[in-house]
């Protein structure tokens, strides 16, 4: 089962994404504080981190940079209201600018998992490729 950590200071946003992603078969954890998120990632690296970054928040930007430097192969989806030129280097092709549709997040999760593990959807249910 693929694992996802959702980071957002707003618990309601974390809970919304959890309610959407868990029925899809993902193991979902949430965290509302960047230091706690880094500890959780270090002890139990997820397949994907979905991180809501407040524009100009050095602590949250540093968190994403630290996750990117980890050698655990964690994919990161970064969501924000706005990305400055320097922030655009975060998560490279996985930047989503708010407002973002839930379906866009779901699609990005599936895309990243298919690149990582051969994860695919078959006959309406999600399976892992056996190769």
Residue whose token pair is 């990305």? 83
Question: Residues 21-34: pLDDT tens digits?
Answer: 999 999 999 999 99
Q: Going from the N-terminus, what domains does the chain have, and what CATH number goes with each?
A: 3-128 (3.40.50.2300)
Other residues' Cβ atoms within 10 Å of the Cβ of residue 109: 23
The dihedral over CA atoms of 45, 51, 54, 55, expressed in degrees to the nearest 10, equals: 100
Neighbours of 51 (CB within 10 A): 25
pLDDT digits (tens, 9 = 90+) for 42-91: 999 999 999 998 877 889 889 998 998 887 789 999 998 887 776 677 66
- State the pLDDT confidence band at 122, using cuts at 50, 70 and 90: very low
For the whole prediction, is pTM greater than 0.95? Answer: no
């Amino acid at each position: 089962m693929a694992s996802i950590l959702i980071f957002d200071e707003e618990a309601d946003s974390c809970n919304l994404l959890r309610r959407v992603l868990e029925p899809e078969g993902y193991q979902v954890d949430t965290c509302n504080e960047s230091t706690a998120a880094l500890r959780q990632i270090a002890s139990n690296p997820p397949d994907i981190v979905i991180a809501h970054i407040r524009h100009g928040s050095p602590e949250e930007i540093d968190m994403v940079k630290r996750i990117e430097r980890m050698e655990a192969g964690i994919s990161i989806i970064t969501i924000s209201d706005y990305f400055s030129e320097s922030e655009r280097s975060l998560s490279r092709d996985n930047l989503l600018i708010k407002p973002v549709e839930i379906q866009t997040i779901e699609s990005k999760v599936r895309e990243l998992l298919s690149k990582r593990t051969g994860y695919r959807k078959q006959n309406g249910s999600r399976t892992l490729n056996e190769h």
